[in-house]
Structures are given as C-alpha cells and as structure tokens.
C-alpha cells in the first residue's frame, strides 16, 4: 500500500453512519411483521440458498490462497476495528461484490473475478471495506431478504414476484441508503477519497481495457454536474424515477457523496480523534463521543 493508514480503534458504526441510512432503517422497522418474516422465514431459507451456492462455487481466500487479497482484507479489518470475515472469490462475468451473515456461521464476503480484473489493489481494498461496512453496521438483518429477493426472482420467479411485491420498495430504499454508509466505510479504510471514487467510476464505465484510460477528475466533475441538475424539480423527478427500482444509488451520486463527506469536518474529526486514540494522546476530558 502507498501509505500507512490510521487504525480507527474503537470505531462505532453510528460514528460514520449516513443520515439517510438511519432514517430508512427506522422506517423499515415500522413495517408490520418484517423483522419476524426476516428472522423466521426468509432467514432459514436464505441460509440454505446462499451458503450452499457460494461456498460450493467460490475459492476461499487465505494466507495460502490468493495471499495478496488476504492481506488487503486483514488491513481493512484492522483499520475499521472489525473481526475478519471469510473472503471468497467467485468466477463471474458481472462485476460485483456482496456480503452475507448467517446465524451461527461466520460471515463472508464474495468478490467476483470480473470486478477484481478492473481494479487496482487499493481499489479492491475499498470494495472489501465497503462490504465490511455492512457487517460493522449490522445490515445483515435486512441485507438477507434483499439478496434473497435477487436469487428468488431468478430461481423461482413466482416466489420472487410475490416477495418483491410485498417488500421490494421499502427494502430497496433502505439498501440504497445503506450503500452510502458503506461507501463511507470504504473511505475510512483507504483514507483516500480518490480511491473510492475511482471504484465507482470503473463500476459505471470500466472494463479491463478501458479502466486504465478513465479520467477520475472528469468523472468527479460529472458527479458534481449531476448533483447540480438534481437540485431542479425536473431533475429530482428524473432521479427518483431512475433509482426507484435500483438496489444501489447511481455511481455518480455515490461519488458525489464521498467527495462531499471527504471534505467535511465530520470526516476529518473522525480520523483525527481516532488517530489520537491510537497514539494514546486523547485527553480524559474530551474523548470521542459516538453519535
């Protein structure tokens, strides 16, 4: 890695959680019966589907298997102050990564080979840290049904459609907001906003041949332009229509959020305070307060 990152000892999820994540999680919990449905119905079903599907079809990363990826995982976990999950690499043509946490089993992160192929090591670490953000913030309770919806719609269309009609809108709204929080986790782990925004740029328009040619400054300018357009009434309507059925916010919007948060006093204070904790220089009178 290009520089030594500050370990954020004692980092709590609420110290970096995006406000939209807090609001949407509160709204989701108010849906009658959703917690019961997730824990007693979707949970056991998801355990069987995801565990068998991923463990049987992926390669487990370790000190002896893809050790460079293993080092990226351990460093990100150290910075974010979280126990390392298992990390798997799966052959797949669609660039993607996802997280799954099951009752009584170790959580795991999966990276698709096509995503690894377009990213630098630092960018891969940003993706890993994004997924760690889901674990750090305990998103797994609602992340399970979202992932199950995706699989169910493909494997059992009738079941997928039924589930989608019942909870899709609320779950997708929550997930889009949760993604903003996990992008912040990626920034905290890499401590370089350009790395995180570069990942988003490559997700928007990268390939093994195009990725090295992309211009990050131009993409950041594009993200800022999108932000300005979205402030108009028509722009807001188009944005809402465009994102309503998506599981993730559009990449330019995510890049703009990271661009903004990286420049905020909130982010700087978070790094500085935990940096002082790490060096033992925090005053007993003015320690960090989680909010």
Helical axes 251-262 vs 216-229, angle rounded to 10°: 100
**What stretch of H or E contains 120?**
none
Who has greater pLDDT, 129 or 240?
129
CB atoms near residue 186 (< 10 Å): 29
- Which one has a higher pLDDT value, 199 or 244? 199
Determine the average pLDDT of the residues in 19-28.
82
Contact residues for 166 (Cβ-Cβ < 8 A; gap 6+): none
From the list 131, 233, 266, 281, the catalytic residue is 131
> Is 233 considered catalytic here?
no
Structure confidence at residue 197 (pLDDT) = 97
Q: Is residue 239's pLDDT more than 70?
A: no
Cβ atoms of residues 141 and 100 within 8 Å: no
Query: What are the Cα distances from residue 147, in Å, to 100, 111, 142, 241, 291?
Result: 9, 15, 9, 22, 29
Helix axes 251-262, 193-205, angle to 10 degrees: 170
Res. 106 pLDDT band, cuts 50 70 90: confident
| pLDDT band, residue 290 (cuts 50/70/90) | very low
């Amino acid at each position: 890695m290009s520089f030594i990152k500050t370990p954020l000892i004692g980092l709590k999820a609420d110290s970096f959680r995006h406000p939209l994540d807090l609001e949407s999680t509160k709204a989701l919990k108010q849906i009658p019966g959703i917690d019961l449905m997730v824990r007693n119905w979707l949970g056991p079903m998801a355990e069987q589907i995801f565990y068998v599907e991923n463990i049987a079809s992926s390669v487990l990363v370790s000190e002896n298997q893809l050790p460079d990826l293993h080092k990226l995982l351990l460093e990100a976990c150290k910075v974010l102050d979280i126990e390392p999950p298992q990390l798997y690499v799966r052959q797949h043509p669609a660039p993607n990564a996802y997280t799954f946490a099951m009752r009584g089993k170790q959580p795991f992160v999966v990276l698709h080979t096509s995503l690894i192929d377009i990213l630098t090591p630092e960018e891969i670490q940003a993706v890993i840290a994004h997924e760690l953000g889901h674990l750090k913030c305990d998103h797994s309770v609602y992340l399970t049904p979202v992932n199950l919806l995706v699989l169910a719609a493909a494997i059992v269309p009738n079941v997928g459609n039924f589930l989608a009609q019942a909870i899709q809108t609320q779950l997708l709204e929550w997930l889009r907001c949760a993604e903003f929080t996990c992008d912040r986790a990626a920034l905290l782990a890499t401590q370089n906003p350009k790395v995180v925004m570069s990942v988003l740029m490559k997700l928007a328009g990268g390939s093994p041949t195009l990725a090295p040619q992309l211009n990050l400054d131009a993409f950041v300018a594009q993200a800022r332009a999108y932000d300005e357009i979205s402030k108009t009434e028509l722009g807001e309507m188009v944005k809402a229509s465009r994102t309503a059925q998506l599981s993730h916010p559009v990449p330019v919007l995510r890049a703009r959020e990271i661009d903004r948060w990286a420049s905020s006093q909130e982010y700087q204070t978070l790094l500085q305070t935990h940096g002082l904790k790490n060096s033992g220089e925090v005053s007993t009178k003015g320690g960090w307060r989680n909010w």
